[in-house]
Amino acid sequence: MKVLLLHADYIEWEPTTPALRSAEPATKERKRVANCLVVFTSVEEGDDETKVPAVADDIEVQFERVKPERIVLYPWVHLSQRPSKPHIALKLIKLLEEELKKRGYEVHRAPFGWYKAFSISVKGHPLAELSRSF
């Protein structure tokens, strides 16, 4: 798995068109989440559920460093040149969401399998941008 973590004033997204036949059901409404840690997430070939705890641990460490109010998981296949099959990616992203919620975090998730218009305002401090590979 690869993740890009951004401490953001806000992120807004609006699903526009399904990118996959297996896209999750979603409404074409703009959603905005403020004061958040945005986690762009790409599941790669060979990834399985055993990686989820390590990714959640790393998100938790960054959350404690930057002190946002909530987490946004944003599926973003573009971080990888070897993405997993969509059904595996969705399964692992949902498991990551569940794991973070079990740990007490408020978690929002952008819909999987959609092209989305989005805007983001990233804070400018030294810990506001971080990428990881698992």
In a domain, 46, yes or no: yes
In a domain, 67, yes or no: yes
In a domain, 133, yes or no: no
Query: In the numeric block, which tokens belong to residue 22?
Result: 């297996």
In a domain, 55, yes or no: yes
Domain with 104 in it: 2-123
Give the domain CATH number at 92.
3.50.80.10
In a domain, 114, yes or no: yes
Rounded CA separation 49/61 (Å): 20
Instruction: Give the model confidence (pLDDT) of 68-85 as tens digits.
Output: 999 999 999 999 999 999
Please report which confidence band the pLDDT of residue 12 belongs to, taking 50, 70 and 90 as the band edges: very high
Question: pLDDT at position 40, please?
Answer: 98
φ, ψ for residue 58, nearest 5 deg? -65, -40
Question: pLDDT at position 19, please?
Answer: 96
The residues pairing with 83 across neighbouring beta strands, listed in sequence order, are 44
Query: Which of 127, 124, 123, 112 lies closest to 40 in space, CA to CA?
Result: 112
Residue 83 near residue 43, CB atoms below 8 Å: yes
In a domain, 11, yes or no: yes
Question: pLDDT at position 96, please?
Answer: 98
In a domain, 81, yes or no: yes
Total domains in the fold of the chain: 1
In a domain, 87, yes or no: yes
Instruction: Give the model confidence (pLDDT) of 92-115 as tens digits.
Output: 999 999 999 999 999 999 999 999
pTM for the model: 0.95
